[in-house]
Amino acid sequence: MKQKILFLVDDLSHDFELYHPLYGLEWEGIETVISGSKLTHTSKFGRQIKCDITFDKVNINEYNGIIIPGGFAPDYLRNNKNVLDIVNYMNKNKKLIASICHAAQVLISADIIRERKLTCVKQIAVDVINAGGIYKDSPVVVDENLITSRVPSDLPGFTNTIIKKILNRGR
């Protein structure tokens, strides 16, 4: 059965944190869909991100997991009810949730990190701890269905860990 992963983006999503995992998954034959609050967003570096679907049109049952890139978009995403509903559905159903950098802010707002191990960019580590998460300063942290990473230089490990998890090639 072909796997299908939903990316959650908004204005100021980090270009590399979106496209590195997206292309890595596509290379492995995993279907990817980019979703946003609108069909076109401007990335952190000023490029256009074309979305396949808006959050309100997502049929969450079609997806095996989500990936949330960082940048400054998580500040918008964390206040979007549709996004929080998607994250909570994925968590409740033990489907893949992957976030990098500032995207842990979305996990905090969805209230899914209590007593879970995760990592993020150091600037928001205190927010993770205050929300009940167990912060680890590691390139990639896996806690059941949750895969988190810190910064763009961690992208190779982050992407490979996601692929292994989706294709059941690892833990």
78: left (phi over 0), alpha (psi -120 to 50) or beta: alpha
Active-site residue (options: 20, 41, 51, 101): 101
Report d(CA 83, CA 103) in Å as an integer: 12
Asked about 102 being catalytic, the answer comes back as yes
Given the DSSP bridges, would you call strands 31-36 and 4-9 parallel, antiparallel or unpaired? parallel
Active-site residue (options: 14, 20, 102, 120): 102
Asked about 101 being catalytic, the answer comes back as yes
Do the beta carbons of residue 120 and residue 103 sit within 8 Å?
Answer: yes
Query: Which tokens sit at 114?
Result: 């209590």
Q: Which residues are catalytic?
A: 101-102
